[in-house]
Amino acid sequence: MKDKIVKDLMIPISEYETISCEANLYEAALALGEAQQAFEQGIHRHRILLISDDNGDIVGKVSQLDVLRVLEPKGKQTGNYKSLSRFGVSSKYLEPMLNQCGFWDKPLMDICKGAGRLKVKTLISVPAPGEYVSEDAPLSEAIHQLALEHHQSLLVTRNKKIVGILRQTDMFKEVLQTLTVCGL
C-alpha cells in the first residue's frame, strides 16, 4: 500500500465558492452566510470562500473569522496576542488592558456600516510560506505545518498555482484512521 500524499486528502478548489477580490465585505459576508447554510444542510463540506484575482487565479481565502477581525476596530493594531502565550502572556491577562483602551466603544451597527464597503482585496493577507503545501508533499509535512504553525487549513499548490485546500479536520480523520489501523 503506497503512502498517501497531500493530493489524496485535499479538496479541489472547484468545490469551493469563490469571490472576486473586487467584491466588498458585505458581499463576502453574504456569501459566507450562504456557505454556512450549505454546510449546516450537508450540501458543502466547508465554510470559507476562495478569493480570485482578475485572471481568475486563487490568491487567498476569507473566513467568518476574517470578517469578525475586520469589525474589530483595533484588531490589526493589537495583533495576534495568541502568539504571546509562548512568553507566558495569556488572553486573560491582556483582557483588562484591552477593555480599558475602549476598543469596543462603538455600536455594532456603526462598525458594520463602515466595514461593509471595504474591498475584499484589502482583507487579503498574503499567506505565509507555511500556509502552502505541494500536492505531492507527504502527509507528515502537512501535519508539521498544521501543528506547528496553527493553521486550520493549507493552500495546496501545483507549479506555484493553488489547486486545492487541505483542511485540518481531514488531516485529523486520516491520522485517527491510521491510529485505529495500527491498534494503538
169: its cell numbers: 479536520
Per-residue pLDDT band for 2 (boundaries 50, 70, 90) equals low
Tally of helices (H runs) and strands (E runs) in the chain: 9, 7
Domain annotation for the chain: domains and CATH numbers: 6-74+83-182 (3.10.580.10)
134 phi and psi angles, rounded to 5 deg = -70, 145
Highest mean pLDDT among 17-31, 76-90, 99-113: 17-31
Lowest mean pLDDT segment, chosen from 1-15, 28-42, 66-80, 148-162: 66-80
Residues 6+ away with beta carbon under 8 Å from 20: 51, 52, 54, 120
pLDDT in tens, 55-96: 988 888 888 888 887 777 554 444 555 556 556 667 676 666
**113, 112, 166, 118: which is closest to 138 by C-alpha?**
166
pLDDT in tens, 152-175: 889 999 998 999 999 999 999 999
* Averaged pLDDT for residues 133-153: 91
Query: Looking at the whole model, is its pTM more than 0.75?
Result: no
pLDDT > 90 fraction of the chain, expressed in percent and rounded: 29
Q: What is the dihedral of CA 20, 21, 26, 27, to 10 degrees?
A: 0
